[in-house]
Amino acid sequence: MSQRPAHRRAADRQPQQAWLAFGGAADQAWLRPLRRGFRHCFAVLHDADGWTVLDPLSGRLLVVRLELPQGFDLPGFYRRSGLAVLGPYAPAAPQPRWLPPLSPNSCVALCRSVLGPGAPFALTPHGLFRRLQKNVGNRNFFLTSG
């Protein structure tokens, strides 16, 4: 019998795709120095059963399973709403590390965690967007390579 938790076994059986959405207004004073339109990012996961949104808000992590019709284009909806959306990405399997990541707990850190250990380093939403966009034709290389 496997020692891995049930949710990890289920994720292996049912592959996911991830999209990252970028946008946001400066609802917190400390966000104002960030580039307009790239003050926040969040992740959207799709599997055979539907859509899950992972949105790190100030002070808490919002995880919501959306009840949408089969075949609904959630990334397209976000694009039509004015957000910049990148994806789909195949989240990489976890890999052992010598040290924990030393980046602050932020929306960027959550999005990088969703992508896996091969995600490009960035501290701001715009930095992550630029690095991912630069590798669009190469996205599976750095997200799934071991």
Q: How confident is the model at residue 12 (pLDDT cuts 50, 70, 90)?
A: low
User: Phi first, then psi: what are they for 48, rounded to 5°?
Assistant: -60, -25
Lowest model confidence (mean pLDDT) among 24-28, 32-36, 54-58, 65-69: 24-28
Count CB neighbours of 108 within 10 A: 25
**Element spanning 64, H or E:** strand 60-66
Q: How many whole angstroms separate alpha carbon 45 and alpha carbon 136?
A: 18
Question: Above 70 in pLDDT, residue 30?
Answer: yes
Q: In the 8-state DSSP scheme, what is residue 92?
A: P
User: What's the pLDDT score for residue 98?
Assistant: 64
Q: Where are the domains of the chain?
A: 6-136
- For 37-64, what is each residue's pLDDT tens digit? 899 999 999 999 999 999 988 778 999 9
| pLDDT confidence of residue 26 | 67
Quick check: 131 pLDDT over 70? yes
Task: Tell me if the bond preceding 88 is cis, omega within 30° of 0.
Answer: yes
Per DSSP, what are the bridge partners of residue 15? Answer: none
C-alpha gyration radius of the chain = 15
Q: Which residues contact 33 (CB under 8 A, 6 or more apart)?
A: none
